[in-house]
């Protein structure tokens, strides 16, 4: 009787919703499922953040409509974080906006700057929302392949000049999901120069900047001279502080880009709950040792799981970033076939690389967000498949 809009008809099933469906189906069959699919940290939110939220719930000021752009105190905490972590100066009043999780900001951003038919450069493989937000805005996604031989960085020179001249936005995400590829300041410098030449907005998703297992801290694109002329960066408290369910993030950078996103948000939401923002302030002011404890957990899990999978004969892309492993499927399988066998025969949920785009074919992603003993159990089950 009722028909979906054309924009919904062209969307594939949302990747992680489909994984949830398959997982629930197996659980209903009595299978002991090990979920290595979605990047949802298993560790609890640090206690000081929870205590700050409890206290904030008692504050009647937080019971009113929140600010559309976010509490100034939260935005100041974000500015302090950028100064402390990246050496970047930001004006909390004009260059930072609070988000209801970075996902909603990423999805809404194209609505502010993309007209129907405009080109948006979307990496592949990638977080699906870059492309989805483009489609919702009526834009035309132009796929920029991320290939292992190029360390999963986009080859800017391969983008045709006529496409570059028409493009409104280029999306980037480093440390990268799903590949775990690292960022470099040299790449960011080239990207900023390229974007200024072609007048393209750089939209950087930096949600994994604090999840690293080596000694090199990932940079922000905003560290590059001239970046604030062309760039906006999206960030989230979800991964750094185990706050995926709290839905709190921000966008920062060029004040016109921030203002454009703000204009969209004033028309579609009423801002994030004040108590959650107060908890976010507590998070951003946690001692660095607290975050380092979390990195230690992922450091151990990454080492153990990489070694276990390599003993089986699987090829794991080596990286010191994110809590993901990006792995080649065994010879003779497509990504979907192999991941299907894992869930059907071993009760393991993983993410097929082609779920992130056509250039993810031939890989699958494992999330290290379950206890170490469950990771080892998963490795043993894969071994028993006798690939």
Q: Which residues contact 25 (CB under 8 A, 6 or more apart)?
A: none
Instruction: Indicate if 241 and 351 belong to the same structural domain.
Output: no
- The verdict on residue 178 lying in a domain is yes
The pLDDT tens digits of the residues spanning 123-162 come to: 999 999 999 999 999 999 999 999 999 999 999 999 999 9
Query: Which residues neighbour 262 within 8 Å (Cβ) at sequence distance 6 or greater?
Result: 68, 69, 97
Q: For residue 17, what pLDDT is reported? A: 73
40 and 145, same domain (yes or no): no
Q: Write down the mean pLDDT value for the chain.
A: 95
The answer on 272 and 242 residing in a single domain is yes
Q: What pLDDT band is residue 100 in, cutting at 50, 70 and 90?
A: very high
pLDDT tops 70 at residue 346: yes
At 173, which helix (H) or strand (E)? Answer: strand 167-173
pLDDT at 380 over 70: yes
1 in a structural domain: no
User: For residue 99, what pLDDT is reported?
Assistant: 98
Total domain count, the chain: 2
Same domain? 172 vs 220? yes
Contact partners, residue 161, CB within 8 Å, separation at least 6:
none
Q: Note the pLDDT of residue 16.
A: 67
276 and 316 share one domain: no
Longest dimension (CA), the chain: 61
> Tokens 């399988």 appear where?
333
How far is Cα 241 from Cα 48, in angstroms, rounded to an integer?
11
User: Computed from CA positions of residues 351, 141, 169, 104, in that sequence, does the dihedral angle turn out positive or negative?
Assistant: negative
Per-residue model confidence as pLDDT tens digits over 181-207? 998 999 999 999 999 999 999 999 999
Inform me whether the pLDDT recorded for 111 exceeds 80: yes
Return the exposure string of 80-102: e unless at least 16 CB atoms fall within 10 Å of the residue's CB, then b.
ebbeebbebebebeebbbbbbbb
Block residue for tokens 């016109």:
256
Residue 15 pLDDT: 66
Who's near 333: CB < 8 A, 6+ residues apart? 341
Two tokens, residue 191: 């990207």
- Mean predicted confidence (pLDDT) in 104-127: 97
Percent of the chain past pLDDT 90, that is, above it, reads 90
**Does 57 share its domain with 40?**
no
78 vs 72: CA distance, rounded Å: 10
Identify whether the C-beta of residue 345 lies closer than 8 Å to the C-beta of residue 337: no
Q: CA 251, CA 258: separation in Å to the nearest integer?
A: 7
pTM score, two decimals?
0.95
State pLDDT tens for residues 59-98: 999 999 999 999 999 999 999 999 999 999 999 999 999 9
Instruction: Give kind and range of the element (H or E) at residue 244.
Output: none
DSSP reduced 3-state for 151: coil
In this structure, what are the phi and psi dihedrals at residue 56, rounded to the nearest 5 degrees?
A: -65, -30
| Residues in contact with 81: Cβ distance below 8 Å, sequence separation at least 6, in sequence order | 284
The CATH number assigned to the domain holding 308 equals 3.90.1150.10
Q: Work out the number of other CB atoms within 10 angstroms of the CB of residue 158.
A: 9
The answer to whether residue 65 sits within a structural domain is yes
364 in a structural domain: yes
Q: How far is CA 359 from CA 10, 154, 181, 332, in A?
A: 19, 12, 14, 17
Helix (H, G, I), strand (E, B) or coil at 386: coil
Residues 6 or more apart whose Cβ sits within 8 Å of residue 242: 41, 43, 44, 45, 46, 294
Q: What is the mean pLDDT of residues 228-253?
A: 98
Domain ranges, residue 140: 47-284
Q: What is the pLDDT of residue 14?
A: 66
Q: Is the same domain home to 273 and 188?
A: yes
The residues facing 123 across adjacent strands are: 144
Same domain, 378 and 320: yes
pLDDT of residue 288: 94
Distance CA 225, CA 223 (A): 6
For residue 386, the model assigns a pLDDT of: 79
269-303 tens-digit pLDDT: 999 999 999 999 999 999 999 999 999 999 999 99
Indicate the DSSP class of residue 159. S
CA distance 240 to 42: 12
Q: Which of 182, 172, 236 is nearest to 212 (CA)?
A: 182
User: Are 238 and 373 in a shared domain?
Assistant: no
Q: What are 10-42's pLDDT values in tens digits?
A: 877 766 677 778 788 888 888 899 999 989 999
Q: What is the CATH number of the domain that holds 123?
A: 3.40.640.10
């Amino acid at each position: 009787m009722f028909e979906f809009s054309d924009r919904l008809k062209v969307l594939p099933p949302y990747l992680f919703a489909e994984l949830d469906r398959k997982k629930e189906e197996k659980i209903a069959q009595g299978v002991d499922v090990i979920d290595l699919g979605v990047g949802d940290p298993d560790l609890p939110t640090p206690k000081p953040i929870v205590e700050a939220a409890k206290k904030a719930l008692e504050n009647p000021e937080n019971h009113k409509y929140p600010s559309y752009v976010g509490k100034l105190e939260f935005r100041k905490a974000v500015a302090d974080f950028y100064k402390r972590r990246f050496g970047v100066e930001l004006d909390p009043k004009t260059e930072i906006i609070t988000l209801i999780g970075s996902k909603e900001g990423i999805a809404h951003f194209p609505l502010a700057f993309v007209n129907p038919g405009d080109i948006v450069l979307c990496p592949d493989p990638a977080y699906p929302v870059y492309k989805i937000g483009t489609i919702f805005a009526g834009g035309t996604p132009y796929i920029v392949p991320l290939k292992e031989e190029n360390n999963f960085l986009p080859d800017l020179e391969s983008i045709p000049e006529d496409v570059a001249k028409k493009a409104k936005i280029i999306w980037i995400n480093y440390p990268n999901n799903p590949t775990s590829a690292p960022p470099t300041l040299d790449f960011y410098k080239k990207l900023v120069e390229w974007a200024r030449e072609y007048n393209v907005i750089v939209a950087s998703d930096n949600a994994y900047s604090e999840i690293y297992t080596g000694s090199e801290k990932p940079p922000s694109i905003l560290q590059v001279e001239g970046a604030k002329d062309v760039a906006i960066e999206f960030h989230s408290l979800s991964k750094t502080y185990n706050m995926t369910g709290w839905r709190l993030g921000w966008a920062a950078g060029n004040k016109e880009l921030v203002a454009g996103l703000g204009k969209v948000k004033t028309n579609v939401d009423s801002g994030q709950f004040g108590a959650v923002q107060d908890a976010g302030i507590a998070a951003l002011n946690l001692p660095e040792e607290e975050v380092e404890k979390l990195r230690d957990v992922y450091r151990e899990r990454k080492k153990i799981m990489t070694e276990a999978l390599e003993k089986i004969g699987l090829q794991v892309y080596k990286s010191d970033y994110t809590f993901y492993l990006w792995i080649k499927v065994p010879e003779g399988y497509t990504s979907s076939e192999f991941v299907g066998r894992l869930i059907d025969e071993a009760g393991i949920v993983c993410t097929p690389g082609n779920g992130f785009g056509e250039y993810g074919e031939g890989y699958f992603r494992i999330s290290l967000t379950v206890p170490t003993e469950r990771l080892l159990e998963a490795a043993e089950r894969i071994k028993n498949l006798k690939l």
